[in-house]
């Protein structure tokens, strides 16, 4: 059985550095520098029936929601870099039994989100397949000096997260609004040192920032913003709810680190700009490379306290 | 049962014109104008196990060939516009039973072709799926005034095709070299009025140029360059071989139309530039919109003479 992260590491290793572009592979989107300090951002994400959404049963997605999610997960990657999305292409795999009307509803879900963010749908491909899938590639742009990657976190930085975490599987993963505006606001104003979108779950995605930045983190568990959906799922157990918030995938919130001296400005301006979206300081970056220390009620707790691993897309 | 072309037409109709970018959807690649008369080209193509290649049986592809084809079909779209390919992202769907070593061989097939055309592999995504698929999105660039689309063919233009046609299924569709150099040479020098790559088969792809350009064509059947593979498949029947050359898909040659006064220059310069690649004049563009007239030994023949439709990817 292939491990997703191992395979990605292995493929990155196989691709000669000279073929990876100016910036090596490994962020939410690739950075392609152009002229005048600008750059293009380029990303792809595929969603597959039975893995990323269901079309039958209690947890089934509507075709509009599938279209929405297919585009939204790509937008979230551009958001995590602080970029502005521009245009996308979509390759769609369609099983024989699917009707044209159903496919059109998927397209409507994509079009509706594209309109919201004023991006263009410029091309595509369709093919037969056994399971329905939508593979989107999205092009964005930004000022190169503003783009935020996973790898700039510095010891002493404060760690912030937008929104509330956990339980996304109940509904949010199908209907979430990608944090494009918030990502652009952060990149243009406060300029975080590192940023990522929460797709694999807080623990794993924080781990991606730490390993890319060669730093560690101290997380204050009392501060983790737990969603109502995570609490519902936990049926009254606060510990379970916290566990869901830390390990459930597909929150598609932003996780970022900011130099300590910017925190006051960040918190004040955020509350003015995005009054409806919680912003929570959940910890700080440390020197202890790759290591996460967990604190609860002022005391250290073992990582063994968490049982569940992050969400596996694979 | 959904018809591929009908569905694509329907999806194009659904996407508001304002969301389709400066140029409407409908060419081999989308044109995204940038500054200084330049533009980006953006395209996507997905290949799926059991549809675009087989992994078992007599006609099976090696994993390297699958990787090669996945990238080559995208390159062919950029070639058909006369563009220069730059960078791609790949989303790969992997069934459970597949080994990491096998996936790495697919990647090697992509890397080898990327190196040949000096393009960058800048990102990707992997997901579980029932059938193996590779969905690639490729970014290219060009001078906007040089880019050749499907829709500029003019009555009186001569119609040319590169290479030899038919029987690609026997091997060529897995190993072909996309006509990037040839496409760029044509776009920069002779500047065809319209161009397309042969993926659906000569009849269908000529039809795409005709309907986009609102013109017709007269094709001289005696001139159609028939491949050895098509002759093999036809087992001695010249008529069958011709039918294969006209209707088999995935030749990935270039089909283009050129103003009559450029033909001498084209033919001479081509022979110098690409001595190993046949270039054949196969007909001319007419006023009779959407209509193809067929001639054989100087006489008109009915289209009913052809039985087989073009290749269906779907």
Structural domain spans, chain A? 29-143, 158-305
* CATH code, residues A29-143: 3.30.1330.10
Q: Using a CB–CB cutoff of 8 Å, tell me whether B14 touches chain A.
A: yes
Select from A14, A111, A122 the Cβ nearest to the Cβ of B14.
Answer: A111
The Cα–Cα gap between B294 and B46 comes to 33
Q: For residue range B237-286, what is the model confidence (pLDDT) as tens digits?
A: 998 999 999 999 999 999 999 999 999 999 999 999 999 999 999 999 99
Q: Do B130 and A126 lie within an 8 Å CB cutoff? A: no
Is the pLDDT at B293 greater than 90? The verdict is yes
- Per-residue tens of pLDDT for chain A, all 314 residues: 678 788 888 888 899 988 988 787 888 899 999 888 999 999 999 999 999 999 999 889 999 999 999 999 999 999 999 999 999 999 999 999 999 999 999 999 999 999 999 999 999 999 999 999 999 999 999 999 999 999 999 999 999 999 999 999 999 999 999 999 999 999 999 999 999 999 999 999 999 999 999 999 999 999 999 999 999 999 999 989 999 999 999 999 999 999 999 999 999 999 999 999 999 999 999 999 989 999 998 888 876 565 545 555 55
Interatomic CA distance for residues B202 and B248, integer angstroms: 8
The pLDDT of residue B6 = 85
pLDDT at B290: 87
Cα angle vertex B114, ends B166, B274, to 5°? 50
The neighbouring-strand residues paired with B54 are B60
Please report residues of A whose CB lies closer than 8 A to that of B114: 19
Structural tokens at position A44: 């792809």
Q: Name the residue facing B11 among A35, A107, A135 (closest C-beta).
A: A107
From the centroid of its chain, how far is CA B43?
12
Contact B282, B219 (CB under 8 A): yes
- Within 8 A of A81 by CB-CB distance, chain B residues are none
Strands (E), chain A: 30-33, 38-48, 84-94, 120-128, 133-143, 158-162, 194-197, 216-220, 254-258, 279-286, 292-296, 299-301
What is this structure's pTM?
0.94
pLDDT of residue B85: 98
CATH top-level class of A158-305 = alpha beta
d(CA A81, CA A28): 7
Q: Are A68 and A112 in contact (CB under 8 A)?
A: yes
Residue A171: the pLDDT is 92
Q: What is the mean pLDDT of residues B22-43?
A: 89
pLDDT for residue A1 = 60
Q: Are A93 and B11 in contact (CB < 8 Å)?
A: no
Local confidence band at B46 (pLDDT 50, 70, 90 cut-offs): very high
**Within an 8 Å CB–CB cutoff, is residue B313 touching chain A?**
yes
Helix, strand, coil share (%) of chain B residues, nearest 5? 35, 30, 35
Between CA B175 and CA B210, with CA B139 as vertex, the angle to 5 degrees is: 75
Task: Write the CB contacts of B129 (distance below 8 Å, at least 6 apart in sequence).
Answer: A48, A51, A129, A130, A131, A133, B93, B94, B95
CATH class of B27-143: alpha beta
Statement: residue B27 has pLDDT above 90:
no
Task: Please list every residue in chain B whose beta carbon sits closer than 8 Å to the beta carbon of residue A84.
Answer: none
What end-to-end distance do the CA atoms of chain A give, in Å? Answer: 10
Q: What is the mean pLDDT of chain B?
A: 93
Check: complex ipTM more than 0.85: yes
- Closest CA of chain A from B168, distance in Å: 19
């Amino acid at each position: 059985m292939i491990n997703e992260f191992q395979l990605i590491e292995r493929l990155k290793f196989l691709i000669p550095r000279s073929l990876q572009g100016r910036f090596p592979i490994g962020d939410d989107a690739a950075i392609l520098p152009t002229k005048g300090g600008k750059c293009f951002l380029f990303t792809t994400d595929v969603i597959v029936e039975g893995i990323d959404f269901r079309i039958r049963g209690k947890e089934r997605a509507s075709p509009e929601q599938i279209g929405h999610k297919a585009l939204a997960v790509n937008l979230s990657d551009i958001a995590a870099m602080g970029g502005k999305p521009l245009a996308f292409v979509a390759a769609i795999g369609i099983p024989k039994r699917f009707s044209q009307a159903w496919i059109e509803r998927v397209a409507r879900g994509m079009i509706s989100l594209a309109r919201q963010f004023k991006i263009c749908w410029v091309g595509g491909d369709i093919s037969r397949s056994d399971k329905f899938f939508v593979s989107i590639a999205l092009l964005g742009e930004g000022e190169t000096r503003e783009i935020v990657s996973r790898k700039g976190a510095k010891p002493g930085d404060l760690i912030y997260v937008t929104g509330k975490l956990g339980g996304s599987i109940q509904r949010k993963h199908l209907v979430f609004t990608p944090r494009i505006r918030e990502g652009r606001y952060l990149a243009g104003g406060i300029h975080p040192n590192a940023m990522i979108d929460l797709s694999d779950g807080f623990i794993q995605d924080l781990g991606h920032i730490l390993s890319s930045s060669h730093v560690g983190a101290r997380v204050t568990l009392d501060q983790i913003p737990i969603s109502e959906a995570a609490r519902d799922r936990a049926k009254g157990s606060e510990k379970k709810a916290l566990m869901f918030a830390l390990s459930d995938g597909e929150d598609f919130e932003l996780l970022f680190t900011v130099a300590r001296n910017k925190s006051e400005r960040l918190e004040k301006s955020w509350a003015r700009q995005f009054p409806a979206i919680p912003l929570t300081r959940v910890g700080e970056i440390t020197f202890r490379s790759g290591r996460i220390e967990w604190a609860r009620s002022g005391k250290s707790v073992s990582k063994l306290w968490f049982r569940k691993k992050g969400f596996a897309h694979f």
